[in-house]
Amino acid sequence: MAKNSRNLPKKQVFCPNCKHKTDIEILDTGQFNLYLCNSCKNGFLYPIPKNLSKYYPKIYWQYPGQLSYIRSTLHNLLQIRRKNWVKKYIKSGKILDVGAGEGVFGKTLGPNFAVTNLESPFAKVANKNVVKADFLKWKTDKKFDGIVFLESLEHVPSPQDYLKKARSLLNKNGYILVECPRFDSWESKLFKDKWLHLDIPRHLAHLTREGLGILASRNNLKVINQSGVLIYEFSPYCFTVSLMRLLKIKPLNLKERSISNLTSMTMALILLPLGVVAETIFHLFDQDPVELSVFQKSIVL
């Protein structure tokens, strides 16, 4: 990923995963700088915002505004597909959903699963059954057969620490499933700083396939599978918005209701088929912008 127009001096900072100074390359700049660690092969944001909560609006997990019914329907369809991913490896048992939002995913798993939903302390969720706690400080006597990070691991400053804590909460032969944007995908390289999945500063970690595998291995987690997932529910939209940014077309704001959004909506509808085609091609070459990684707890002899 190329640098943008600002030429900041190269500097060394601490990688939140490797915990030491290492060779760092500046990939993107702005109010917050994006770096790539040459040791763990993952990107990270620096400095970390002091008050993350202000970057998460109250309606972060809701779908107001235009096309709200369509967006919520697509979101629910995605939960069903996620359920199938989990059931491929875990037929029943206890599941921990880290970054669960309103806990929608857990409801799809059915009666053979007992789901614990966990969110950050500042999460603005209405579901009273969602535990609001700092995952790294959270204390529990429970052990889980599966722990899922569904579009959540990229929101934390130190994914390696989160995987370490997750492993400690797994039963023997338990699984960790991570769904996240793939920072080394073709789409990321194409759109660079215009890529919608960057989502700075909410996305603190920018994970690559190799990098996520490295973090798993450091925590004695066996890599079962790492592959892209074709998510028609939102990937073509993300491609379209990224393309509109690249072409300097005002992207569609789904939270607006005003007529000023009409031009953006028209352009989005024109470009959306291109997004569908592009995502299909990316998938054929295993270059999806979203990755699903499956890890299993390794028994240390």
Domain annotation for the chain: domains and CATH numbers: 24-230+289-297 (3.40.50.150)
Can you count the helices (H) and strands (E) in the chain? Answer: 7, 11
Cβ-based neighbours of 210, under 8 Å, separated by 6 or more: 41, 184
- How many other C-beta atoms are found inside a 10 Å radius of the C-beta of residue 32? 14
**Angle, nearest 10°, between helix axes 209-218 and 159-168?**
50
Highest-pLDDT range among 49-58, 65-74, 238-247: 238-247
| pTM of this structure | 0.90
pLDDT digits (tens, 9 = 90+) for 210-248: 999 999 999 999 999 999 999 999 999 999 999 999 999
Average pLDDT for residues 171-180, to the nearest whole number?
Answer: 97
Closest C-alpha to 234, from 61, 119, 72: 72
* Least confident segment among 126-130, 136-140, 157-161: 126-130
Give pLDDT, residue 2.
43
* Contact indicator for 268, 240 with CB cutoff of 8 Å: yes
Quote the pLDDT of residue 63.
Answer: 53
Give the span between the Cα atoms of 177 and 182, in whole angstroms: 14
Residue 14 confidence (pLDDT) above 70: yes
Residue 201, preceding peptide bond in cis (omega within 30° of 0): yes
Distance CA 232, CA 149 (A): 20
- Judge whether residue 130 has pLDDT over 70: yes
Contact criterion met (CB below 8 Å) for 292 and 179: yes
Confidence of residue 162 (pLDDT cuts 50, 70, 90): very high
Return the biggest CA–CA distance within the chain.
Answer: 65
Min mean pLDDT across 12-26, 107-121, 130-144, 227-241 is at 12-26
Report the percent of the chain where pLDDT is more than 90.
69
- Check whether 297 has a pLDDT greater than 90: yes
Distance CA 113, CA 68 (A): 30
75 confidence band (pLDDT: 50, 70, 90): confident
CA distance 134 to 118: 9
